[in-house]
Every structure is written in structure tokens, then in C-alpha cells.
Amino acid sequence: MANGTLKVSNIQTSSGSGTVTLGQSGETVALGSGATSSGNFGNFDKLEDINVTSDVSGVEINLDYSGYTAFKLIIKQLNKSGTSSSNVQFRVKRSGQSSFDSGASDYGNQGILYDNGTNRNDNNNVNSIAMLTGAGTGLFTLRVEALITGAQETDIQFQMQGVTSIAENGGSTSTYGFGGTRYNNTEKVTAIQITDTAQNIGVCIGTLYGLKA
């Protein structure tokens, strides 16, 4: 077939099953300018919106999505209900469990305040994974971007790592990096819960995305 434009509304295999192959070795398949993709083409699928606008003791985010090997959590607004100095943290709920793990040695956790290189390194044997430690007494708006792996797999441990940006109302901004794992456990994780060590969560608005194998 000579070079040109193929215009069709649907491409299927002749048998109704099997694989449709686009391109060959050495070639690149690309979307045209302005085009968007749907379905699973190596992109993250939008799974759920998080929209908490009144005080709650914890924000539960569902991870019980079969077939997804990784999740991306983007929280565009996270506020504490008060001004106490505290840690924003999360815990996990494993498959078949009714509550979130909070044992004294359930997690391994590390963090650092990028602004001045201050380590907040708790290592192993802690009861949660901190997304921010020592948040001061001002009114803060937090923004979080995190990658979650191992939640739906049983051969590796659950892991979550990301960055929290801190903007004090009318003041300065800071950036905190964090990472952690559900220690010594490879059971499926069906949900995470975000809490604060001193007060309720006042606002949590964001989106969870998932990536299939």
C-alpha cells in the first residue's frame, strides 16, 4: 500500500480474537497532534475522586482494584482542622482486615525536609508512614503526589513514596520527601487511610489513578 492516510472507525482481528499489531521493529507508533488515547495504553486510568470538605478523623482511599500494579495519588488540597504541631501520616488496611494496621513495628519510614536537608528518618518499626512530620502551628495547605506499588501483589511489600508541598497561608513554602513500606508483609492492601496525629483532617481533595500491567 502506498503512503497515505487510512481512515476507519474500528480495527479488529479477522478471527475476532488474538492481537492487533501496529508497527514493527524500529518503528514508533505515535498519536497525532491534539489526539488523546482511551483504554490502557500505558497510561494511568482515573479510578476515583477524593472530595472531603468537612472535618473527619481519617480519609480512607480505596486501593482494591484488581489488575492494577501501581497507583498514583495526587492530592491538590489537604488541610488540618486545627493549628497544632503534628504529623500527617497514613496507614494501610490489608485484605480481609476490618481496621488499619497501627502496630508499633508495622512500618518502615523515611523522610527529609528538602529546604534545609533535615532528615526525619524513623527507619523501621514505626506505627505509620509520615507524609509530613512536625507541621507547625500555622494554617497549612498541603499538596501531595505519591506513587504506590505492591498493593495488589503478594510477592512484594506495599510501598509508597512521594513529595508533600507545604504552603503556609500568607507565608513561606516548603517541600518534604517521604517513603515507606508495610514492614515484613506481602499481603494485598485494599485501602490506605490519611490521618493527623493531633487533630482531624479538614479538607482532602484529589484523585487516584491506576496503572495496569
CA 113 vs CA 107, 116, 120: distances in Å: 20, 6, 7
Q: What confidence category does residue 55 fall into, taking pLDDT thresholds of 50, 70 and 90?
A: very high
CA-closest candidate to residue 181, choices 153, 210, 142, 211: 153
Domain parsing of the chain, residue ranges: 45-212
What does the alpha-carbon distance between residue 77 and residue 97 come to, in Å, rounded to a whole number?
29
Read off the pLDDT of each residue in 89-99 and give the average, rounded to a whole number: 95
Q: Is 99 helix (H, G, I), strand (E, B) or coil?
A: coil
Q: Which of 80-94, 102-116, 159-173 is predicted least confidently? A: 159-173
Read off the pLDDT of each residue in 173-195 and give the average, rounded to a whole number: 91
CA 41 vs CA 36, 44, 85, 212: distances in Å: 11, 9, 43, 9
Residue 94 pLDDT exceeds 80: yes
Does the global pTM surpass 0.85? no
Q: What confidence category does residue 38 fall into, taking pLDDT thresholds of 50, 70 and 90?
A: low
Q: What confidence category does residue 2 fall into, taking pLDDT thresholds of 50, 70 and 90?
A: low
Residue-wise pLDDT for 137-179, tens only, equals: 556 789 999 999 999 999 999 999 999 998 876 667 788 999 9
